[in-house]
Amino acid sequence: MRQINGRRIAAAIAQAKWHDGVTGGWIRNTVCSSTQYYHVLQNHWGMVLFYNPDVPDIGVSQLPQDMLFKTRGHLYARSEWGSDATFVLFRCGRFEIDGRNNADNNSFIIWRNTYLACDTGTKWGTDPSLKENSDGRHYSLYFRQTIAHNSMTIGTSNSEDLNYTTVCGGQISRVSPEKLQMYGMPVSEDNKYSRQAGEIQAYETSPEFCYAVGDARHSYDPTVVKGFTRQFVYIRPGAIVIFDRVDAVRAQATKRWYLHTMEQPQCLDGTMTADTSVHPDGHFLANGKTLSASHGGSVLFMKNLLPEKTTIRVLGGKGHQFEVNGENYDMKDMWWEKIGTKQFQEAIGLGWWRVEVEPQEQQVNDVFLHVLWSTDVKKITKNGQVGAKFTADGNAVEVTFATSGDVAGHIKIEKKGAVLCDRPLVSKLEDNYQKWGKDPRFKDWMTNPYMRSVIGEKEQDFFKDISKKRPRKKK
């Protein structure tokens, strides 16, 4: 059988061996959705050879809205399972040992009917500059770099090693043994490079919100960066609060916060003026704090609350969409004509614009606070923490964060006068669904043996133990 079928065959084996109803539903409804027999026989032999029809398929609407993959550092969250759902990806985890790395720890993607906050650039397989044996600069100097993702860069210089190339103060995708020692991490003969450059250190999921803390300190050059944590709060159905604490080695290391969009952002509480300091066109300065970017019938709002004094740049458009330090790493005209069509750009979220938020005052330690998807936002200080207060989708939200010491925070959500939650944000991994106890699907999550690939065997066993200890109601 052809190698391309390997993962599909493995999925069918998993469905049969572990009685995995989630994988079964995916195989039947997504992989093998075609009813034409030659599609099945050409690409889906696993379905024919291994699929167990006695295992009931689990549809997506039966599943939880959030899922954490800790080692890889992927958190997937959504408002619900309908076609109009908001979908969010937060990333902070392991880098691979081969070339399949994007320097994208503490980054995010937002989707609602279309890409609103996107990655940008495109991989080598669709870049003719590599196929034609040229230098492939778009892939190596833009697409794989931190500047192409919704994360942060610290410093503006480029650096190169035998193991990596990083641009504009971005992350290092393959950390050398020397830098591991500077981090204080162990180095062994059979582990020449650290793969776990980022880590999700705290996580919780509930019907009201999903929360994660990403630590990306080990993703950067330790001679430049001492610390970078991102607290990411997704409040259902469509508000996001992001709080960053960044510690540089030197105050002169410029910190830039990035947001990539498909269309050009506009300033709602001010004007956009041309910035000709780098190029005569394609660069703008916003003199307000609230921006919006429309695309595909949806709108993304961004409110910058901290730092107090910032320079907010907007750049992009033809000739500037893949720009690094004034140079645009574009594809050739042939690529845009044959591959990079409008349909392809929509399919992969190939954005043409980005927002850069940079503090005006240079200092070693900085905090950044942004709210996405809500326009009426106020900065608040409460119990020694800073945060945001706003109303979104009928929810009155207050969320605050500690600016120093242990990473911590607090969240309060009210709807129509009823308090939905009022508690500290967790400081550890709570990779379970105990806060979903009132959801009508909860009992099935905890007892259905065909859902263990999602819920986990330990979580279901824990629920059984707790249920046995509960006193029975008297008749």
Q: What is the pLDDT of residue 187?
A: 64
The answer to the question of residue 278 being in a domain is yes
* Torsion over CA: 410, 414, 417, 423 (sign): negative
- Let me know whether 40 and 165 are in one domain: no
- Let me know whether 172 and 255 are in one domain: yes
- Let me know whether 236 and 250 are in one domain: yes
**Taking the model in full, what pTM does it have?**
0.92
- Let me know whether 312 and 446 are in one domain: no
The answer to the question of residue 428 being in a domain is no
Q: What is the DSSP string of 111-132?
A: EESSEEE---S--GGG-HHHHT
Q: Which domain CATH number covers 110? A: 2.70.98.70
**8-state DSSP, 29:** I
Q: What is the pLDDT of residue 36?
A: 46
Are 389 and 401 within 8 A, CB to CB? no
Identity of the residue numbered 203: Y
* Mean pLDDT value across residues 207-236: 95
- Let me know whether 32 and 70 are in one domain: no
- Let me know whether 49 and 75 are in one domain: no
Choose one of 330, 349, 377: the last residue of a domain. Answer: 377
What is the DSSP pairing of strand 283-286 with strand 327-328?
A: unpaired
Q: What is the pLDDT of residue 133?
A: 43
- Let me know whether 14 and 36 are in one domain: yes
The answer to the question of residue 412 being in a domain is no
Q: How many domains does the chain divide into?
A: 2
Distance CA 370, CA 401 (A): 12
The answer to the question of residue 402 being in a domain is no
Give tens-digit pLDDT for 112-123: 999 999 999 988
457 against 276, higher pLDDT: 276
- Let me know whether 99 and 54 are in one domain: no
**8-state DSSP, 30:** I
Choose one of 377, 397, 421: the last residue of a domain. Answer: 377
The answer to the question of residue 152 being in a domain is yes
- Let me know whether 46 and 100 are in one domain: no
Confidence of residue 38 (pLDDT cuts 50, 70, 90): very low
- Let me know whether 32 and 97 are in one domain: no
Q: Is the pLDDT of residue 65 over 70?
A: yes
Give tens-digit pLDDT for 339-375: 899 999 999 999 999 999 999 999 999 999 999 987 7
What is the DSSP pairing of strand 115-117 with strand 239-248?
A: unpaired
Give tens-digit pLDDT for 264-282: 999 999 999 999 999 999 9
The answer to the question of residue 392 being in a domain is no
Element (H, E) at 312: strand 310-316
- Let me know whether 27 and 74 are in one domain: no
105-126 burial: b if 16+ Cβ within 10 Å, else e: bbbbbbbbeebbbbbbbbeeeb
Measured CA to CA in angstroms, residue 374 lies from 80, 85, 141, 385 at distances of 19, 17, 34, 21
The answer to the question of residue 258 being in a domain is yes
The per-type count for the chain, helices as H runs and strands as E runs, is 12, 28
Question: What are the strands of the beta sheet with 418-424, ordered from one edge?
Answer: 377-382, 385-392, 395-401, 409-415, 418-424
- Let me know whether 201 and 120 are in one domain: yes
For the chain, give the mean pLDDT. 88
Choose one of 336, 357, 377: the last residue of a domain. Answer: 377
The answer to the question of residue 212 being in a domain is yes
* Structural domain of 56: 3-60+436-469
Q: Is the pLDDT of residue 192 over 90?
A: no
Determine what percent of the chain is predicted with pLDDT higher than 70: 86
